[in-house]
Amino acid sequence: MNYDELKAGQELDALIAVKVMGLPAETGHFMIHAPIYLPYSTNISSAWEVVEKIKTPNIRIEIQMPFGDNRWICWISNLKKGTIGGAGADCAATAICRAVLKAKETP
């Protein structure tokens, strides 16, 4: 799956909830038969919960907005393997979510 093409919203939030936060896909609050998860991809407080979840002594997370650019960049590195995930987006929360999903799939 190309995470860079996922827009912020329910689909990205659901992927984070299930693949990263460990929530079952069939639980949560339901509204019109659609699971509602925290807004990980649009809210920096919720995205920071994702950062806290993956944080270990071997994981380094960098979030930055390069000078003169209006996009946020998130890099996730493993001290033993190097960069394992990186993504950009107009919103810091979205960049974090995309990078974390990529990192989770890196062997």
In angstroms, the CA 13 to CA 53 distance is 15
- Candidates 83, 85, 104, 87; CA nearest to 95 is 87
**pLDDT tens-digit profile of 23-79?**
887 655 544 455 679 999 999 999 999 999 999 999 999 999 987 788 999 999 999
**pLDDT tens-digit profile of 60-73?**
999 999 877 889 99
CB of 101 closer than 8 Å to CB of 3: yes
pTM comes to 0.88
